[in-house]
Amino acid sequence: MTRTSEVTRKTSETQIQLSLNIDGEGKSQLETGVPFLSHMLDLFAKHGQFDLTVNANGDTDIDDHHTTEDIGICLGQVLKEALGDKKGIKRYGNAFVPMDETLAQVVVDLSNRPHLEIRADFPSQKVGTFDTELVHEFLWKLALEARMNLHVIVHYGKNTHHMIEAIFKALARALDEATTIDPRVKGVPSSKGLL
């Protein structure tokens, strides 16, 4: 079974081509126009063992908002499509990731019930030129389009870069666990028979 998907999204603000292989090798090819987001997506691919390609052109001359948000939308869409009927998956994933003084935790449920809870107080409003409030935008659109329940907790931390990096690594590892095929799971992992 090949669990891959790709999407093209064109608006007046962004043009994005994105592809995902859930069962990849952690390879990425990223041209986002948002350097810090590219760094985070590279970590996401590596730590989730996902193959991820992103080619994006957006109105970054204004700011990084539309590009970051729309990449989140596209990543959520391809994740949902690549998972198909979700038969045999573990469904839930939980990961703790330390990054120097920071400890982040991400818990996911591929439930078809989109929700985001985030507990992270970033000390800085920017990392380089990247607005840290865009982390919430990216995660919310990812959760919404992938139709997953996503909980993000930074238990503690002082360096904003470390905090966001730990979130993306933990997200990748939690999704890797949740998307894993478990041979003991027969059909869809829900008492309802549908996710």
* Rounded CA separation 9/19 (Å): 12
Q: pTM score, two decimals?
A: 0.96
Task: Give residues with Cβ within 8 angstroms of 191, minimum separation 6.
Answer: none
Mean pLDDT, the chain, rounded, equals 96
**Residue 1 pLDDT > 80, yes or no?**
no
Q: Which residues of 99-134 are buried (b: 16+ CB within 10 A; e: fewer)?
A: beebbbbbbbbbbeebebebebebeeeebeebebeb
Give the list of residues 6+ apart from residue 1 with CB closer than 8 angstroms, or none: none
Question: Quick one: which of 107, 105, 109, 90 has its CA closest to 179?
Answer: 90
Stated as kind and residue range, the H or E segment containing 142 is helix 134-146
Q: Measured between alpha carbons, how far is 49 from 21 in angstroms, rounded to an integer?
A: 9
For 51-85, the pLDDT digits (tens) are 999 999 999 999 999 999 999 999 999 999 999 99
**Percent of the chain at pLDDT exceeding 70:** 99
pLDDT in tens, 99-155: 999 999 999 999 999 999 999 999 999 999 999 999 999 999 999 999 999 999 999
